[in-house]
Amino acid sequence: MKFFVAILNPDPREKRPYSSFPKDYNEFQSISSRQSQNKHEEGFYECVNFLETDYGILGFIPMWENKAIQDYEIEFVLISISCKGNNNELNDRFIGIQAGCKYEGRIDGSGYERLGPMPRALKESLDKKGSPLLYNYTCYCERYSLNLFSEKIMNAAQIAIGENWDGSLITEITTNRFIQVVKAINKAFRREDLRFTNEYFRWENIKRQIKWQIRQEYKSNNAI
């Protein structure tokens, strides 16, 4: 099993973050703040990375910067964090964690039809520009996907990546570094307002799944 950290755009919308399509093309473009190396991928492609459906998760992350994640054979854990910026409320905090992720290549938005209707104004604009929504990874079970953006766990880059970040939008991290992420999330769920919530129990379920996979693959007893 591998662990990756993805740096994404913060979601400023009032709706449940990363769980709905932008209302139109202007919103799709305006939310995007990171500097893409591929102009075709400028925009808020990660808009539904945590939209839960019976089909699991269809998500987008900027994979072109990391070849290790572009492997159809591996299953990985994805930690998503928001990029640093001027908005202290939205930047540099944990977006979420997903286990059981698989690389799917670059697939256009036809698969999104399974997630529900896309706003007409957005679809027409994207079709006109010849730039459909893309997804490039899946998380096969919504129970292994946890949206943490509303929990405001800050200093995400320092916790998840550390001092040696090279500026890449995708970073592979070690199991020991992942344990630091686990400790930070555990600490958040010790707050009175989060203990024994649905999110708390989902987090416990995700940890059990990851721990089981690590033991299966590495025969390891790491303290996750």
Q: pLDDT by residue (tens digit) across 65-124? A: 788 999 999 999 999 999 887 767 889 999 999 999 999 887 765 556 556 667 878 878
Q: Is residue 92 part of a domain?
A: yes
Say if 224 falls within a structural domain.
no
Q: Do the domain assignments include residue 100?
A: yes
Query: pLDDT tens digit string along 33-60?
Result: 554 444 445 789 899 999 987 778 989 9
* DSSP string for residues in 15-79: SSTTSS--SSHHHHHHT--S--SSGGG-S-GGGGTT--BTTBEEE---GGG-STT--TT--EEEE
Over residues 139-162, mean pLDDT = 92
- Residue 82: inside a domain: yes
Q: Which residue has the higher pLDDT, 16 or 36?
A: 16
| Averaged pLDDT, 136-141 | 90
| Residues spanned by the domain of 48 | 2-218
The pLDDT of residue 41: 56
Binned at pLDDT 50, 70 and 90, residue 29 comes out as: confident
Best CA proximity match to 170, nearest among 48, 76, 41, 69: 69
- For residues 180-195, give the mean pLDDT: 92
Q: Is residue 223 part of a domain?
A: no
Query: Is residue 24's pLDDT more than 60?
Result: yes
How many angstroms separate the CA atoms of 114 and 54, rounded? Answer: 9
Structural domains of the chain, count: 1
Residue 220 has pLDDT above 60, yes or no: no
What whole-number percentage of the chain has pLDDT above 70?
86
Q: What is the pTM of this model?
A: 0.87
